[in-house]
Amino acid sequence: MIIIRDEQKIARLKRLSKWLSTAGIVALVIGMILAFTSTTNALALQLVALGFGWIFSQVGMYLAHRYVRDPRPDEVVDKALGKVTRKGRLYHYLLPASHVLLMETGLIVIVAKYQGGKISVENDKWQQKGLGMRKFFGQENLGNPTREAEDSVKALAAYIHKHAPEIEEVPIGALIVFTAVEPKDLDLKGSQIPAMHHSKVKSYLRRKRRTQPLSDEYYNALRAAFDLRATHLLTQDVDQEVDDVKETES
């Protein structure tokens, strides 16, 4: 399986996350200091500082959970998939969906969720319990993974329609993967979209390999459409391979 990842985007957003987190802390500290001043506009300035501090901190935390934490969600997905498909191509942070797996049998949009707590779902209504104070500090809410998956599938379908119009219809599956929580804290039987702990992904995809494969025409058209967003990365890989060959020959 070939993994194509936008490392430059990850590095850029990692830096932005750290900058926003630092700026948020500074703004919150300024807001607290202003609480002890008696100037005319102190209250207004305090509210502005606290508001910006909260916004910066929240955005920084959002980015940190995706691009700073170790391991990152995309790295957990890499390990979960392993070498499950010979012709598989896994695209991270390049397409309208963050994680897309192209296989001989079709496409799978992967929604990676790092959130912890006790997570359950019934009729696609998700619940997250057992967080305590983490629910208010440092923990992004679970949201609705089902809706995220559906939106990602629609966005990817629109991209395919635009960049590979010769493809009339292609199966796009969705998979919700939990990358951090313990398996015992998951009750996912009520999800209409396949949802599972990352340790179960490989066996699930092996069963999917038994379905009817895509035609070579469709597979190659999808690959070309997706690689279009990764041209700069693929060019770098080719250049690196050429340099490695030259060093070996010399």
Check residue 215 and report its DSSP letter: P
CB half-sphere exposure, 165, CA atoms < 13 A: 1
pLDDT band at 87 (very low <50, low <70, confident <90, very high): confident
**Span 145-180, pLDDT tens digits:** 999 999 999 999 999 999 999 988 888 999 999 998
Number of domains in the chain: 2
Query: CA dihedral in degrees (182, 186, 189, 192; nearest 10)?
Result: -90
- What pLDDT score does 239 carry? 41
- Decide if pLDDT at 12 tops 90: yes
- Number of Cβ atoms within 10 Å of the Cβ of 83: 8
Mean pLDDT of the chain: 86
In a shared domain, residues 175 and 57: no
CB half-sphere exposure, 95, CA atoms < 13 A: 35
State the chain's maximal CA–CA distance in angstroms.
Answer: 74
Q: Which residues of 1-39 are buried (b: 16+ CB within 10 A; e: fewer)?
A: beebbbeeebeebbeebeebbebbeebbebbeebeeeee
Q: Say if residues 90 and 81 touch (Cβ distance below 8 Å).
A: yes
Task: State the average pLDDT over residues 43-60.
Answer: 91
Task: State the average pLDDT over residues 88-106.
Answer: 94
Is 113 a member of any domain? yes
Helix boundaries (H) for 68-108: 73-81
- What pLDDT score does 131 carry? 67
CA distance 55 to 191: 32
- Decide if pLDDT at 144 tops 80: yes
In a shared domain, residues 17 and 60: yes
Task: State the average pLDDT over residues 81-100.
Answer: 89
Is 181 a member of any domain? yes
Is 127 a member of any domain? yes
Is 150 a member of any domain? yes
CA distance 92 to 90: 7
**Span 174-216, pLDDT tens digits:** 999 999 888 888 999 999 999 999 999 998 988 876 677 888 9
Domain holding 214, by residue range, is 73-234
- Distant-in-sequence, close-in-space partners of 152: CB < 8 Å, separation ≥ 6: 96, 97, 98, 109, 111, 174
Task: State the average pLDDT over residues 235-247.
Answer: 42
Its pTM stands at: 0.84
In a shared domain, residues 14 and 55: yes
On the 0-12 / 13-18 / 19+ scale of CB atoms within 10 A, 186 is middle
Phi-psi region of 90 (alpha: psi -120 to 50; beta: other; left: phi over 0): beta
- What pLDDT score does 221 carry? 94
**Span 212-236, pLDDT tens digits:** 788 899 999 999 999 998 887 876 5
